[in-house]
Amino acid sequence: MTDTSWRQTSSMLKTRRPAPRVLQIAICNPPFNLLNGDVLDQLAATLRSLTAHDTGAVILGSDLPDIYISHYDVGEIADLGDLIPHPALSPPAALLRGALHLESLLSLIGLRWLVRKSPLGGMSNLNSYHECTALLRSVPQVTIAMINGRAFGGGCELALACDLRIMVDTPAEGIAGAGQAIRGSGIGQPEITLGLIPGGGGTQMLTRNLGPAKAIEICLEKPLLRAAEALQLGLVTRLVPARDLLQTTLDMAIKLSKRSPAAVAAIKDCVHIGASSSLFAGMQREKAHFAVCAMQPEAQVAMHKYLDGIDGILGSQGGLEAFEDLDEGIFSDLTPGSAAAASSAAATAATAKPKSL
């Protein structure tokens, strides 16, 4: 299904389907594209509505030129202070963790709307943020952040929750250069400058992506990175000129949308959950996922097709070009249900074939 026209699917999100099995989401919260509880709720609802059969890749971008996500709405963060009647009564972290857990439980029974009308509303938004980023890390679709400009604070964390990040290669924020009608770009976690820490997963994802030393450096000493620095560190996957950003991201999404959703979900789980466990537990997790993927009907069809043509791929006449169809996802259809559909079609054709006398 393809629909290249934009649809305003909620008050702060636009979506379109620029290619089969690809969904493009644009966050629209002018003038600065701030994240807030409403944006996160709408994004989470969109992600939960996806099916592995219809969608294989999601592009998460912005509807505003030159801005991905400026940061999280500081006003909503400041509202957390309403919980404290006096600065001297700041509660211990353990008590706040308990309150966050309670809010999560209440949300499971449909009472989040009520919590948001109470002084615990800030807790609700914080939980919503983590629920949304957890979805990005776990859905069976490949998620790609298309970073068209600044991505500070919550914008950096939202991008880090995606599987891949393609960023515009423009000068740094504030030094765009004469004659360039752009705001510039940059990515990082500047919360420390307001006496805060990253609250949407930044400390954890930076540590897992870059290691503890670089995570500490970015969060404390170098909160704003230029695009080239982000690429050098491995924080973003690729830098491209502004004119090529959409097409490059779309080309990647089309290719990756053809991957097996079961394998995509399994890889994400092994990396994000398994790799945070002990080596033994992580290996056990990988083995189980491997077996599940090998039993998928579509994987069975693909493996038998590979075995039938293995001489042409690995033999003396083979080469790297023999792997192109595999890499591009056109060697075998891995869409859920495709194996059953092909088997049914073959059976129907066999039944319809006239019998010879």
The 10s digit of each residue's pLDDT in 227-255 is 999 999 999 999 999 999 999 999 999 99
Q: Say which CATH class 3-256 falls into.
A: alpha beta
- For position 356, what pLDDT does the model report? 58
328 is catalytic: no
173 band by pLDDT with thresholds 50, 70 and 90: low
H helix or E strand, kind and range, residue 9: strand 3-10
178 band by pLDDT with thresholds 50, 70 and 90: very low
- For position 179, what pLDDT does the model report? 47
The 10s digit of each residue's pLDDT in 115-163 is 777 777 777 888 889 999 999 999 999 999 999 999 999 999 999 999 9
The 10s digit of each residue's pLDDT in 34-78 is 999 999 999 999 999 999 999 999 999 999 999 999 999 999 888
Q: Is the model more confident about 89 or about 328?
A: 328
76 is catalytic: no
Residue with the two structure tokens 């002990």:
278
322 band by pLDDT with thresholds 50, 70 and 90: confident
Percent of the chain having pLDDT more than 90?
68
Phi and psi at residue 89, to the nearest 5°: -105, 25
Lowest mean pLDDT among 23-27, 55-59, 262-266, 317-321: 317-321
- For position 269, what pLDDT does the model report? 97
The answer, yes or no, to whether residue 348 has pLDDT greater than 60, is yes
Domain boundaries, the chain: 3-256, 261-352
Catalytic position from the list 76, 103, 173, 191? 191
Phi and psi at residue 187, to the nearest 5°: -145, 145
Runs of H (alpha helix) within 162-314: 202-210, 212-220, 227-233, 245-256, 261-272, 279-294, 297-308, 310-314
Lowest mean pLDDT among 72-81, 165-174, 188-197, 345-354: 345-354
Burial class (CB in 10 A: 0-12, 13-18, 19+), 104: middle
Catalytic position from the list 103, 157, 173, 298? 157
Average pLDDT on 255-273 reads 97
Residue with the two structure tokens 């695009």:
227
